[in-house]
Amino acid sequence: MTLAPESPTTGCEVAVRFSPDGAPLAIRHDGRIWMVDPDVHTAHWFTRDAWWETRNRAAVGSGDIVSVEHWQVQAKLATTNAELRTFTLRREPLATGWQLESIS
């Protein structure tokens, strides 16, 4: 699936490679690798899952079930003259993988 400017939002899973200090380095999406530009500001924040609406339940001691992690990074393909794109990534509570929230 290729994201077109007309439909830049998706919920597909992406692979994210992180540095030892926890910052995103690269994103694998749609069979291509997007390199995160280290010279451009990245944003990292957490929101809370609306557990009272989703009724997600977990066993006692299973960890944080309400924190949704987000990253917003600037990345580009490793080709000449490639444009920077803004990727917004999201990881749900207790999830092991990342979802692509949007590309702009």
Q: Which two tokens stand for residue 1?
A: 């699936």
Residue 22 lies in a domain: yes
Q: Give 65's strand partners.
A: none
- Domain contains 31: yes
- Interatomic CA distance for residues 17 and 26, integer angstroms: 5
Distance between CA atoms of 61 and 43, rounded to whole angstroms?
29
Per the domain annotation, does 86 fall within a domain? yes
What is the reported pLDDT for 21?
94
Asked whether residue 82 is domain-assigned, the answer is yes
60 domain-assigned: yes
- What whole-number distance in Å separates Cα of residue 37 and Cα of residue 85? 10
How do residues 7-22 score in pLDDT, each as one tens digit?
Answer: 445 689 999 999 999 9
Q: How many CA atoms lie within 13 A of 54 on its CB side?
A: 11
Fill in the DSSP letter of residue 60. Answer: T
pTM of the model: 0.79
Q: Using one digit for the tens of pLDDT, what is the confidence trace for 25-83? A: 999 999 999 999 999 999 999 998 776 666 666 667 766 678 899 999 999 998 878 89
By residue range, what is the domain housing residue 95?
13-103
Residue 92 placed within a domain = yes
Predicted pLDDT at 89: 97
Report the C-alpha gap between 79 and 61 in whole angstroms. Answer: 46
Q: Which secondary structure element, helix H or strand E, spans residue 29, and what is its range? A: strand 24-29
Residue 7 in any domain: the answer is: no
Q: Is residue 67 part of a domain?
A: yes
Number of domains in the chain: 1
Measured distance CA(103)–CA(40) in Å, rounded: 16
